[in-house]
Structure 1
Amino acid sequence: MAKPITSITIVGGGTAGWLAAVFLRTKIAKKIKVTLIESPNVPTVGVGEATVPNMPATLRELGIEDRDFFKRCNASIKMGVMFRNWNVDHRGDFISYMNPFITPPMIDRMEAGYFFHAFGAGKRDFIQSFSPLMDLLQAGKCPLSFGGKDDPMPRVGYAYHLDAGKFAGMLAEIGNDRGVEHILDDVQDVELDDRGYVAALQLQEHGRHEVEFVIDCTGFQGLISQKALGEPFESYSDYLANDRALALQIPHPDPLRLPAATSSTALGAGWSWSVPLFNRIGTGYVFSSAHRSDDAARDEFMRHLGDTAPKGAEPRVIPMRVGRTRRAWVKNCLSLGLSGGFIEPLESTAIHMIDMGLRWLLLYFPSQDADDATRDRYNRTVDAMYNEVRDFICLHYRLGNRTDDPYWIDARRELKLPDRLAENLELWKHRLPSPLDLPTQFLFTHHTFQAVLLGKQVYRNGYGDGTFSRPYVMNEKNWREFLRKSAAHTRATVAYKADHRQMLLALRGEMGKGANVATKLGEVEGALKQEHALF
């Protein structure tokens, strides 16, 4: 009879390692010993500072208080991602659009995207036709309010921007408080048993450490899964060209006005991210080394930043290995974070993939034998998640229409398309994405794909052959009435919602002094409880 697991060893710290440690200590019903072994000599990459809408729920499940999180991690609210300059319109002008955390409504039992495609929305783009999020962003506001009773939009998905280093530090403190054994040491050797399972780790200072089940969070090096167990790495370089990044921290141009969205601005050989934290902006340039040298990319990036970059600032260069370990779970070893794989941070999926990997581990929790059926089902699920994320990222490049640099032309003509995405792009020339088109929707639903196609204005720019299918009766008058009501709702929502910076001050407990603090903070906590109860 297979023996139950009594201990789990995590190798590597950072967000991946410490999120795994806290998650397992908090969520596993049985008393299982959790040990985290972290090298004192290996720095974490710490590039990703944005999350997706599952993050608020994850923090609540882990018992992390909002006030502690916002203050300690300099966190801010994220309503979605603004894409700038990825495409041009029919006049050749750059387009901006949002990938928002909101679902379009049904109109006359038909999706709003079809009405927008047929009749347009005047000067408003697709997202603005039904959602106030872009208007909130332009007004410097966020989706939360100080009083929930009369809120015209009480429920909306949102995520966080956070300081990855401080977040990992906070998780480490929580993990230690909850009984995670923390060992600062270097792994010198990995001992395998006669089945090829990891039996023990040889540590430089602490000697032999026995292993029942190990989680590899050692970053790109994949110390356990790839080096010791020999699991091959599958590159995505045929699909995605970007393999380098520059990273820099800069001050807010206007500290009193904090945008509640991530920004992705296309440059000559890639794109620049902007993640607005409470105290600063995390920014960088993801680019292709086949199209820019490090020096040329740095010069281009610094020109893009202009006066917002501190004098003498020097971005650090980060090599990116885009792809994944072929199998996430091998023998008695599970890969999480960068050791499991990395797809460029265009949609802030890194922490989400760690989160899902842990949830699926609990769902398929093994015995010490780690049977093949359990491993295989877990690996197929993780494989499907990576395929979903890869396909969605590839979509952004294949549907670009810039011609001002060979990089953008190569992205359309030279990069390989995943088979499923290629089939769907042929289908979507004639109809909008539907739920039946996607094998999984772990994060990106058919509505998310619709937002990209309609945001990029591909149909206005000749995508397809003019045989777009709209088989249902569509009443333009009903659409115009919907737009009128939607615009009124947007105005009311923007007027009601809180200034983003003021909301963050309240969440941090720094609104002011005396009764005003108590009143405002009490309203915020009440609103958050109401919001949390809906999810």
Structure 2
Amino acid sequence: MNNRLRKITIVGGGTAGWMTALIMETEFSRTSAPKDRPRICLIESPNIATVGVGEATVPHMPRTIRKAGITERDFFRETNASFKLGVKFCNWNKDARGNRIDYVNPFAHGQILEGLEAAEYFLRFGNGDRDFTQSVAPHDDLGRLCKGARELGQPEFEQRFGYAYHLDAVKFAGMLSRVCTRRGVEHIQDEVQSVELDEQGNVSHLMLERKGRHDVEMVVDCTGFRGLIINQALGEPFLDYSDYLPNDRAMALQIEHPDPEKIESVTRSTALGAGWTWRVPLYNRVGTGYVYSSAHRTDDQAADEYLEWLGDSGKGATPRVIPMRIGRVRNAWVKNCVAVGLSGGFIEPLESTAIHMIEHAVRWFTEHLPTREIEPALRSRYNRQMNRLYDEVLDFICLHYRLGNRTDDQYWIDARTEMKIPDRLAENLELWQYRLPMDHDIGFATLFDFRVYQTVLLGKQVYDTGYGPGIRDRLRPVKKPIWFHYTKGAKAHLAQILKTMPDHKTLLRDIRGELEQPAYARVAAMKPTVPMPGEAPEPVKIQNMPNHAEIRSGAKDLQLF
């Protein structure tokens, strides 16, 4: 008897819901006939307004878009996307002279030189006034000069250098909904009034306001912080991470580009007094926000600090405050329900991991696809994988705070000394005082491998400011001529790269089909989603965050991170 799932119901739209639908449809249609795969149905409230302030992604994203059969041109035009070469951390640490440190964590890593990591040579010999990232990758220089991620006229998704995207989260969800419904995903716009469980505790039906009873075999909860099914109906406990991470509030605003022709190709994270701000430059605007600790700033104080940081760009704006639920559900898959996105958990968006975690959650589910029996072994292994993913991200985010050295505000002192850190990270931090991170130090890495840890330690200059004293005397012997030869060649290579790479805005216009003499592959003419050069642009509307009551009640959905 065929006991395969016949239908999977997704509750909630936005980025989480529609990415779930897209990945499932892509995976199932690629490997199975229509009669053999489950139908996908997405239920989305027509009364929930989505609020997006700009989304930063990680390097898996180009592969996801390409694998889904979405053209690069369509993606850039429909989401006002731009390229992201990495994250620039500003003022998180002070150097040995007390000056602020700015460094880029790039989507790249150093070469192996005669069997050893470039990081070892850099720690031993340095590279003049160039920091580690600037010594091993062009990403910092490209971002600072507002250069693009590749040359003009290259094939779509070409990746000479590692990159991800900045995008408009609301437009992205809208694009995915159109793609998915064209491919057969059933879209029901209705309110879920209640959730019914059977005798075994599985979700059996959803009561919809207009369509009535909706049968459920397998359900994916994408209802955001509300956790309508995983928390409210199934009662799965929430594991609070507030002992590990200090921030529990966010506020955000969209602003205009100070210079529309200069678009940085990096996300910026700038440390303020009680948290940090993000700056996500899209094609047509900039998404900004402040993530902070309510234990160290009142909401009014934080708003004043945030608006002062924005300067003229924030004049007249009144940002709203969103309390953030930091942590995860104990198990993402409970009975016949899988929680994806904010309903499954949320770790502050310092490294732009939200979409990355959604993608892995859905892909791993397709790999553990159950029958209607909902096999416990599949569920158990999936939950183990998801828990390890959250542990990976938690470790890396905690690293940024534990290795901070600012003393100008009690927040930074508390973040460094009062917050717990996971045992895995504590053990590694003890070890890394005596040598740099190595491959086998990181037990599970979908994104943050040992080279990313090397970049942060060297970017923060921790070995020059009290951490790991005397480490250079303990490093294994390395030959300086090897490093000198490498840096000399890298300097010449960088000059050639900067000479040939176009500015970011020109590259984006080329991909979108808005250059008079396009270098991009030939496509049919399409109407631009923003004004052409010479036309008056529409003013960018300042869009406030929804407040906590609106999120909890479902009046607005949060498409923040």
Does the alignment reach a TM-score above 0.5? yes
1:21: how far off?
1.2
Which consecutive unaligned segments of at least 5 residues does structure 1 have?
A: 526-535
Residue number in structure 1 paired with 2:393: 389
**Whole-Å separation in 1 of the counterparts to 2:480 and 2:153:** 36
Contact 1:114 1:470 in 2 (8 A): no
Contact 2:404 2:416 in 1 (8 A): yes
1:278: how far off?
0.2
- 1:130 and 2:129 matched: no
Range 102-111 or range 312-321, more displaced? 312-321
In the alignment, which of 66, 69, 72 is matched to residue 75 of structure 2? 69
Following superposition, which runs of at least 4 residues in structure 1 exceed 4 angstroms of deviation? 467-471
1:473: how far off?
3.1
**Whole-Å separation in 1 of the counterparts to 2:475 and 2:247:** 40
1:471: how far off?
5.3
Residue number in structure 2 paired with 1:118: 124
**Whole-Å separation in 2 of the counterparts to 1:185 and 1:33:** 18
Aligned-residue CA RMSD (Å): 1.7
Range 47-56 or range 58-67, more displaced? 47-56
- 1:207 and 2:212 matched: yes
Percent identity (aligned) = 56
Range 231-240 or range 472-481, more displaced? 472-481
Contact 2:85 2:106 in 1 (8 A): yes
Range 461-470 or range 2-11, more displaced? 461-470
SS of aligned partner of 1:316: coil
**Whole-Å separation in 2 of the counterparts to 1:365 and 1:470:** 50
- 1:341 and 2:345 matched: yes
Contact 1:199 1:211 in 2 (8 A): yes
1:316-331 to structure 2, matched below 5 A, reads: 316-331=320-335
**Whole-Å separation in 1 of the counterparts to 2:52 and 2:198:** 34
**Cα distance change of structure 1 residues 354 and 47 upon mapping to structure 2, 3 Å threshold:** farther
- 1:19 and 2:11 matched: no
1:47: how far off?
4.8
In the alignment, which of 408, 430, 441 is matched to residue 426 of structure 1? 430
1:356-404 residue CA offsets vs partner (Å, 9 max, x unmatched)? 1111011111111111110011000000000000110000000000001
**Cα distance change of structure 1 residues 45 and 307 upon mapping to structure 2, 3 Å threshold:** closer
Contact 1:105 1:112 in 2 (8 A): yes
**Whole-Å separation in 2 of the counterparts to 1:493 and 1:521:** 19
1:437-452 to structure 2, matched below 5 A, reads: 437-452=441-456
Contact 2:51 2:170 in 1 (8 A): no
The count of residues paired between Structure 1 and Structure 2 equals 516
SS of aligned partner of 1:376: helix
Amino acid at match of 2:181: N
Residue number in structure 2 paired with 1:93: 99
Residue number in structure 2 paired with 1:533: none
**Cα distance change of structure 1 residues 74 and 509 upon mapping to structure 2, 3 Å threshold:** same
**Whole-Å separation in 1 of the counterparts to 2:522 and 2:9:** 42
1:241-252 to structure 2, matched below 5 A, reads: 241-252=246-257
Residue number in structure 2 paired with 1:304: 309
1:43: how far off?
3.1
**Whole-Å separation in 2 of the counterparts to 1:16 and 1:147:** 33
SS of aligned partner of 2:52: coil
Residue number in structure 2 paired with 1:411: 415
Contact 1:49 1:163 in 2 (8 A): yes
Contact 2:24 2:363 in 1 (8 A): no
Amino acid at match of 1:56: P
Residue number in structure 2 paired with 1:351: 355
**Whole-Å separation in 2 of the counterparts to 1:143 and 1:264:** 20
1:218: how far off?
0.3
Amino acid at match of 1:209: H
Contact 2:463 2:469 in 1 (8 A): no
Residue number in structure 1 paired with 2:319: 315
**Whole-Å separation in 1 of the counterparts to 2:159 and 2:229:** 46
Amino acid at match of 2:26: T
SS of aligned partner of 2:96: coil
Residue number in structure 1 paired with 2:272: 267
1:410: how far off?
0.2
SS of aligned partner of 1:161: strand
1:71-121 residue CA offsets vs partner (Å, 9 max, x unmatched)? 110000000000000000011110000110002101121001111111110
Range 430-439 or range 469-478, more displaced? 469-478
**Whole-Å separation in 1 of the counterparts to 2:84 and 2:471:** 37
